[in-house]
Amino acid sequence: MKKMLATYGGMLIGALYGLFIRYVFGLNSKFVFDFADLFSITFVWVLPIIMGLIPLLLATKAQLENWTFRMLAPALTVIFFLGFCLVTRLEDFICIFIIGIPYFLMAAVVGLLFGKWLLAYKSKRSLFLSVVFLPFVLAWVENTIPAPSAAFEVNTPIIIHAPAAIVWQNIVRVREIQASEYQKGLYNYAGIPRPIYAEFDNDTLGATRIGHFEGGLQFKEKVVVWKRNHEVAFSIQLIPGSVRNAIFDQHVLKGNHFRFLQAAYQLKSIDATTTELRLLTNYQLHTSINAYGSFWGQRLMTDFQTRLLQVIKARCEQRRGM
């Protein structure tokens, strides 16, 4: 037990420290005076550096001289931290995917750059341990700088062997999608809800469509473009009372960091029996990590749109007896 503590104690301390920061940063702003944010450079890129440093700062000289220890200690600290987040339900699997890349990347940087360097400053490690206070300072500074807003578009095309009129009928109203029709992917199993059906009140400009998703999640969509058999576009508004208790939904959909702007279907007749259908979705990010957020936004939305378009394609082509 003593040997295990000597080997893994610093990693566990680093992971528990990260868990504490995650809890504090995740508190409602009215309790922490709006000084911290999970969608921040501090939480996504700086915290894993400090977490990785802690086991190295607490390590013995023999451990620091071991190249394997210097590389594994920060990485294992991150693994322990992510495991604690899952067990305590502070994060779910999709959130772990999203923060996993920067956390492991920064852990590798710590192992490569700081491990051996700390050997020369062993006597000053108590001073270096003061870095545990750095996230609070950086979070406060970061929060005083207005986060930029940026809009992004996801454009997904598909070729359907059916006339535009048939395709149109399958995109304006979407009858219930059976589980057997929808091929779930990794993101769905990690927590992204699949679409269920969409109901429409009128075939005209200004009409309202309600999109229903797994778990009761709903979006209100107002028709802003209506060109029968050519294009239909909707403004998108989340119905707040429908937001699931899932951690991802609470973080992303209920906050002020992510917002859907508009979705559109565009149809282009290639010939009498073939149509190119294009689904475009515009969304807005309002964070200090918009570039990284859009990296995941593009992947999640592309995966969602591709799977939905595959359902529409199968239905249209089946209707033609293909």
**55-76 pLDDT, tens digit each:** 998 888 888 888 899 899 999 9
For 186, the enclosing helix (H) or strand (E) is: helix 186-190
Q: Mapping DSSP to helix (H, G, I), strand (E, B) and coil, where does residue 244 land?
A: coil
Give every CB contact of residue 275 below 8 A, 6+ residues apart in sequence.
Answer: 159, 160, 162, 163, 164, 167, 267, 268, 269, 316
159 and 259 assigned to the same domain:
yes
Q: What is the CATH number of the domain that holds 228?
A: 3.30.530.20
Q: Read off the pLDDT band of 122 (50, 70, 90).
A: low
User: Of 88, 114, 144, which one is at a domain's C-terminal end?
Assistant: 144
Residue 249 neighbours by CB distance under 10 Å: 21
What's the order of all strands across the beta sheet hosting 208-213? Answer: 149-160, 274-286, 258-271, 231-238, 218-227, 208-213, 195-200
DSSP state of 214: G
* Total tally of structural domains belonging to the chain: 2
- Give the whole-angstrom CA distance, residue 190 versus residue 304: 13
184 and 279 assigned to the same domain:
yes
- Give the whole-angstrom CA distance, residue 100 versus residue 109: 14
Q: How high does pLDDT run on average in the chain?
A: 90
153 and 122 assigned to the same domain:
no
Instruction: Identify the pLDDT of residue 37.
Output: 86
Please provide the DSSP assignment of 278-301 as one string: EEEEEEEEESTTHHHHHHHHHHHH
| Out of 89-98, 105-114, 232-241, least confident range | 105-114
Give every CB contact of residue 285 below 8 A, 6+ residues apart in sequence.
Answer: 149, 150, 152, 257, 258, 293, 294, 297
- Are the CB atoms for 278 and 268 separated by under 8 Å? yes
- Give the whole-angstrom CA distance, residue 313 versus residue 319: 10
User: Of 88, 110, 144, which one is at a domain's C-terminal end?
Assistant: 144
User: Of 144, 172, 194, which one is at a domain's C-terminal end?
Assistant: 144
93 and 123 assigned to the same domain:
yes
Using a 10 angstrom Cβ sphere, with 0-12 exposed, 13-18 middle and 19 or more buried, the burial of residue 57 is buried
Annotate 86-119 with b (16+ C-beta within 10 A) or e (fewer).
eeeeebbbbbbbbbeebbbebbbebbeebbeebe
Q: Of 58-62, 134-138, 152-156, 236-240, which has the strongest mean pLDDT?
A: 152-156
137 and 165 assigned to the same domain:
no
- Give the whole-angstrom CA distance, residue 320 versus residue 31: 59
28 and 115 assigned to the same domain:
yes
**pLDDT tens string 23-45:** 999 885 444 456 678 999 999 99
Instruction: Identify the pLDDT of residue 250.
Output: 85
Domain hosting residue 43, numbered range:
2-144
Nearest partner of 310 among 203, 79, 156, 191, judged by Cα: 156
123 and 172 assigned to the same domain:
no
Amino acid identity, position 271: D
233 and 155 assigned to the same domain:
yes
Span 184-200, mean pLDDT?
Answer: 93
128 and 172 assigned to the same domain:
no
For 29, the enclosing helix (H) or strand (E) is: helix 29-32
**pLDDT tens string 82-93:** 999 999 999 999
92 and 44 assigned to the same domain:
yes
43 and 185 assigned to the same domain:
no
162 and 71 assigned to the same domain:
no
